[in-house]
């Protein structure tokens, strides 16, 4: 019986030797020789032994690729709750390289001498079963409530869970007797005996017990990896099992794979020459031999446990995920799902998140998504979309966050290629050493993909325009899976469309930008007394829109709180490193209203972007936001906004100065066409209906809107975002590039013919 596990090899090292560095050196050698795994004995009562956990942490810091495990960890001397937290921590610190192998306990005198509790064989197995539940519970940091556990052997009133590990940490058990083997089948991810401790047939009979227990527990036996510790000696002459030349080892190990389903061989040795010979002569030859015997046996993809499968959503062909994405698919039951389910502002529960690592994989992911036409499809780069359409409920998300490289293509023309998954603070940091910057948004955590396909209204905007004004070419995966280049000369219509309406036309997998020379900038943060809300808004509007182009200023207000003064925060970038220029351009702002502790610094633009946090997305519920462009802050507009802020319906109001270089570009040059406005305004609230009603009352002041700041999915918003001729052209192009409307989940532009396009929505 083979269980379809890819073949892996490891070493098994004694945590003591001539010097404490010897096991570390052996572990490093393990990695150099290409083994998958390095494991260490764990006997915490042995006088000269290094503590295994400390050794593993040290080794993790000294290696880069090889995975680590105790072999097997002595559970009676370790609290399972603390062990789980240690495991999660080391897994995170090592980049997902920690595996857990546990033992129920042996050498009870020694355990008792170290303060551990002596247990009968039955009690030891029961305690291990409880410990597995505790460990899994603590590792399940998706749950926020503390873990309460009341067992016969362990009792925890409230264990704090987490941290969430970097990968699903498998639990393997060192097991020999039926009771333990049944526990493996019922709860573990792997069976790890030492071959030398088994009688000839015990691998087979043990597998049978494990398989039956797995089936009884509703599990697929192939969820359980079969590992064995092996030892032997290389010699010229054949002299017994694993005592002889390399080819004898291969002959003897082969049936263990083909007939007994062993997927992992762990070589117990502290001799570097034995490791080397095994790695050079046994492992590759055994792989080849297995391949000959079982041409298509071993999927290296991860078999999902019954528990994970139970959380699958209706209507998704999970088992049909393309092989290229097998390791890049995150399901609701997977560890790490919490990291990908939501966006910055919106809570989500997608049925499947695919994380392709190349353009070809994006095309595979898209083909898979297209085979589920009934499901929502989200496309995610940085997950900061305000409308949150890069997540969904029960649908598929293609997350291109892994495509995040930043390369300088040509220093002379300042041409830079950037992946959609890069964040703007990474872009700014990468360009800074060249004395360059690419105008982006005001928050360095935002992703390149969503922002660069919609606009990019940022703090260098009045001097350097929109982000998409710097785009010179892009690679796009279209709805039919084809990969095309879009530029002024290649697919120019598509190039026009993705600069403002990109979400509707494909998945951009790389952007080529021409960036600007930007040295240090003036960075100002000002806090004003804005009790006279309407007057403040008008004065800010007047000063900000008449400032020189070097200065781009944004203003934020919250709802008026009873009994508290109204505060306005202004933040601005002056594109000059000359303190005199910076001060001169900011002076008029300081006169708008009484200011509290103005802060002005001369810093690299990258330092402004670097202030964004790196925390994972934990959006909840539905964000409620509305957007518009306005040409001026008129008294009527300012007074209505003041009333809205006072009513409490608007909890966040932002004015961003635009114009300048943004308005220099011909409105027909890109799908982003409302370029003559002076301000982009945004309001957020908690009650969608209330905010929509108030915002719609302001519509006479509006001159278009920026879809990236809006969450109102009524079709009218699309008509507001694009002037009629632009929208007509977009609908015609949509018919050409995405006739089946695959990309529809984020402000959909419906495909239209020239005649149907006349009604603009």
Ligand X SMILES: Cc1cc2nc3c(=O)[nH]c(=O)nc-3n(C[C@H](O)[C@H](O)[C@H](O)COP(=O)(O)OP(=O)(O)OC[C@H]3O[C@@H](n4cnc5c(N)ncnc54)[C@H](O)[C@@H]3O)c2cc1C
- Residues within the interface to ligand X (CB under 6 A): 343-344, 378-386, 389-390, 400, 420, 441-443, 446-447, 449-451, 453-458, 502-503, 507-508, 708, 746
Q: Which is nearer to ligand X, 442 or 712 (CB)?
A: 442
In three-state secondary structure terms, 632 is coil
Q: Collapsing DSSP states into helix, strand and coil, what is residue 130?
A: helix
Give least dist CB 744 to ligand X, A.
Answer: 10
Q: Give the residue with the Cβ less far from ligand X, 221 or 336.
A: 336
Minimum distance of ligand X from residue 335's CB (angstroms) = 22
Provide, rounded to whole angstroms, the least separation between the CB of residue 391 and ligand X: 8
Q: How far is the CB of 382 from ligand X (least distance, A)?
A: 3
Q: By the 8 A CB rule, do 370 and 323 touch?
A: no
Q: Report the alpha-carbon angle 651-655-658, nearest 5.
A: 155
Please identify, using beta-carbon distances, which residue of 63 and 711 lies nearer to ligand X.
711
Instruction: In angstroms, give the least distance from the CB of 327 to ligand X.
Output: 21
In the complex, what is the shortest distance from the CB of residue 747 to ligand X, in angstroms, rounded to a whole number? Answer: 8
Strand locations in 369-491 (E): 377-380, 396-399, 406-410, 415-418, 436-437, 471-477, 483-487
User: Taking Cα atoms as reference points, which of 496, 497, 467 lies closest to residue 382?
Assistant: 467
Least gap, CB of 401 to ligand X (angstroms): 8
Question: Nearest residue to ligand X, using CB?
Answer: 450
How far is the CA of 305 from the CAs of 48, 187, 487, in angstroms? 40, 10, 46
Q: Please tell me the distance from the alpha carbon of residue 307 to that of residue 186, in angstroms, as a whole number.
A: 12
Tell me the closest approach of the beta carbon of residue 37 to ligand X, in angstroms.
35
CB of 745 to ligand X, least distance (A): 7
Residue 552 CB, nearest approach to ligand X (Å): 10
Q: What is the separation, in whole angstroms, between the first and last Cα of the chain?
A: 60
Q: Which of 617, 614, 583 is nearest to 600 (CA)?
A: 583
Nearest distance, CB of residue 504 and ligand X, angstroms: 8
Q: How far is the CB of 610 from ligand X (least distance, A)?
A: 14
From the DSSP assignment, how many helices (H) and strands (E) are in the chain? 25, 31
Contacts 24+ apart (CB under 8 A), 630-633: 630/677, 630/678, 630/679, 630/681, 630/701, 630/702, 630/703, 631/676, 631/677, 631/678, 631/679, 631/703, 632/541, 632/545, 632/678, 632/679, 633/537, 633/538, 633/540, 633/541, 633/542, 633/679
Max CA pair span of the chain: 98
Q: At what angle do helices 246-258 and 283-293 cross, to 10 degrees?
A: 40
Distance CA 711, CA 705 (A): 11
DSSP assigned state of 79: -
* Dihedral sign for Cα atoms in the order 547, 447, 523, 589: positive
Of 44 and 447, nearer to ligand X (C-beta) is: 447
Nearer to ligand X by C-beta: 305 or 509? 509
Nearer to ligand X, 277 or 627 (CB): 627
What DSSP string describes 235-298?
-SS--STTEE-HHHHHHHHHHHHHTT---EEEEE---HHHHHHIIIIIHHHHHHHHHHHSSS--
Comparison of 165 and 421: residue with beta carbon closer to ligand X: 421
Which is closer to ligand X, CB of 190 or CB of 449?
A: 449
Query: Smaller CB distance to ligand X: residue 380 or 717?
Result: 380
| Residue 692 CB, nearest approach to ligand X (Å) | 19
- Measure the CA–CA gap between 421 and 148, rounded to whole angstroms: 39
Residue 344 CB, shortest distance to ligand X, in Å, is 4
Q: List C-alpha distances in Å: 679 to 554, 650, 719, 750.
A: 9, 18, 19, 28
CA 185 – CA 220 distance, rounded (Å):
9
Taking the C-alpha atoms of residue 482 and residue 232, their distance in angstroms, rounded to an integer, is 54
CA 240 to the chain's CA centroid = 51
CB 23 within 8 A of CB 16: yes
Nearer to ligand X, 66 or 466 (CB): 466
- Between 221 and 458, whose beta carbon lies closer to ligand X? 458
d(CA 566, CA 579): 30
Comparison of 130 and 399: residue with beta carbon closer to ligand X:
399
Judged on CB neighbours under 10 Å (0-12, 13-18, 19+), 178 is middle
Looking at the Cβ atoms of 185 and 382, the one nearer to ligand X is 382
* Nearer CB in complex with ligand X: 188/503: 503
Structure tokens at 437: 């910057």
Q: Of the two residues 188 and 398, which places its CB atom closer to ligand X in the complex?
A: 398
| Phi and psi, residue 696, nearest 5° | -60, -30
The distance of closest approach from Cβ of residue 251 to ligand X in the complex, given in angstroms and rounded to an integer, is 52
């Amino acid at each position: 019986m083979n269980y379809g596990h890819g073949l892996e090899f490891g070493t098994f090292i004694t945590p003591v030797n001539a010097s404490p560095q010897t096991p570390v050196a052996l572990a490093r050698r393990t990695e150099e020789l290409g083994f998958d795994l390095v494991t260490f004995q764990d006997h915490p009562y042995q006088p000269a032994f290094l503590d295994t956990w400390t050794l593993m942490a040290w080794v993790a810091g000294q290696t880069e690729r090889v995975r680590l495990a105790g072999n097997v960890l002595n559970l009676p001397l370790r609290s399972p709750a603390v062990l789980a937290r240690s495991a999660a921590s080391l897994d995170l610190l090592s980049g997902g390289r920690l595996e857990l192998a546990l033992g129920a306990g042996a050498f009870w005198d020694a355990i008792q001498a170290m303060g551990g509790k002596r247990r009968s064989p039955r009690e030891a197995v029961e305690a291990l079963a409880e410990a597995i539940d505790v460990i899994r519970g603590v590792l399940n940091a998706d749950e926020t409530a503390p873990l309460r556990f009341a067992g016969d052997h362990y009792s925890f009133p409230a264990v704090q869970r987490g941290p969430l590990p970097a990968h699903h940490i498998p639990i393997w058990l060192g097991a020999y007797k039926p009771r333990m083997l049944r526990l493996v089948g019922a709860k573990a991810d792997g069976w790890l005996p030492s071959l030398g401790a088994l009688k000839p047939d015990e691998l087979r009979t043990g597998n049978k017990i494990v398989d039956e227990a797995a089936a009884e527990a509703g599990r697929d036996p192939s969820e359980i990896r079969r590992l064995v510790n092996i030892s032997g000696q290389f010699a010229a002459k054949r002299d017994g099992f694993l005592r002889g030349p390399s080819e004898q080892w291969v002959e003897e190990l082969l049936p263990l794979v083909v007939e007994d389903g062993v997927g992992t061989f762990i070589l117990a040795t502290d001799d570097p020459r034995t490791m080397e010979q095994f790695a050079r002569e046994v492992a590759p030859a055994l792989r080849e031999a297995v391949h000959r015997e079982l041409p298509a046996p071993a999927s290296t993809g991860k078999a999902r446990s019954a528990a994970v499968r139970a959380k699958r959503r209706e209507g998704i062909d999970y088992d049909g995920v393309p092989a290229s994405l097998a390791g890049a698919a995150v399901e609701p039951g997977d560890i790490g799902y919490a990291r990908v389910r939501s966006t910055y502002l919106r809570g989500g529960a997608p049925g499947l998140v695919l994380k392709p690592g190349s353009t070809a994989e994006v095309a595979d992911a898209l083909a898979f998504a297209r085979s589920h036409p009934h499901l929502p499809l989200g496309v995610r780069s940085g997950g900061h979309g305000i409308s949150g359409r890069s997540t969904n409920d029960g649908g598929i998300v293609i997350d291109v966050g892994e495509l995040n490289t930043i390369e300088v293509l040509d220093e002379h023309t300042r041409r830079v290629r950037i992946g959609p998954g890069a964040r703007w603070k990474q872009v700014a940091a990468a360009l800074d050493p060249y004395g360059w910057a690419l105008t982006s948004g005001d928050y360095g955590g935002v992703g390149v993909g969503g922002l660069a396909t919609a606009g990019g209204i940022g703090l260098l905007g009045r001097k350097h325009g929109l982000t998409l004004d710097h785009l010179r070419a892009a690679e796009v995966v279209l709805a039919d899976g084809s990969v095309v280049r879009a530029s002024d000369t290649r697919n120019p219509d598509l190039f026009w469309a993705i600069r403002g309406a990109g979400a509707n036309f494909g998945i951009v997998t790389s952007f080529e930008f021409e960036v600007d020379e930007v040295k240090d900038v003036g960075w100002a943060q000002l806090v004003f007394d804005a009790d006279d809300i309407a007057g403040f808004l008008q004065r800010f509007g007047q000063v900000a829109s008449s400032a020189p182009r070097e200065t781009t200023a944004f203003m934020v207000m919250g709802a008026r709180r009873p009994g508290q003064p109204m505060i306005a925060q202004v933040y601005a970038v002056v594109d000059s490193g000359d303190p005199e220029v910076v001060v001169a351009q900011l002076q008029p702002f300081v006169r708008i209203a009484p200011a509290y502790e103005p802060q002005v610094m001369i810093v690299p633009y990258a330092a402004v972007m670097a202030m964004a946090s790196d925390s994972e997305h934990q959006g909840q519920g539905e964000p409620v936001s509305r957007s518009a462009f306005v040409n001026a802050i008129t008294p009527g507009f300012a007074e209505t906004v003041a009333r809205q802020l006072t009513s409490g319906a608007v909890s966040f109001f932002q004015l961003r100065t635009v114009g300048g270089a943004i308005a220099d570009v011909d409105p027909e040059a890109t799908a982003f066409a409302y370029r003559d406005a002076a301000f982009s305004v945004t309001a957020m609230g908690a009650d969608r209906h209330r905010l929509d009603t108030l915002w719609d009352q302001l519509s006479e002041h509006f001159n278009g809107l920026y879809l990236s700041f809006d969450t109102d999915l009524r079709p009218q918003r699309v008509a507001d975002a694009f002037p009629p001729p632009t929208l007509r052209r977009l609908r015609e192009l949509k018919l050409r590039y995405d006739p089946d409307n695959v990309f529809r989940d984020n402000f959909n532009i419906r495909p239209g013919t020239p005649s149907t396009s006349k009604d603009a929505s």
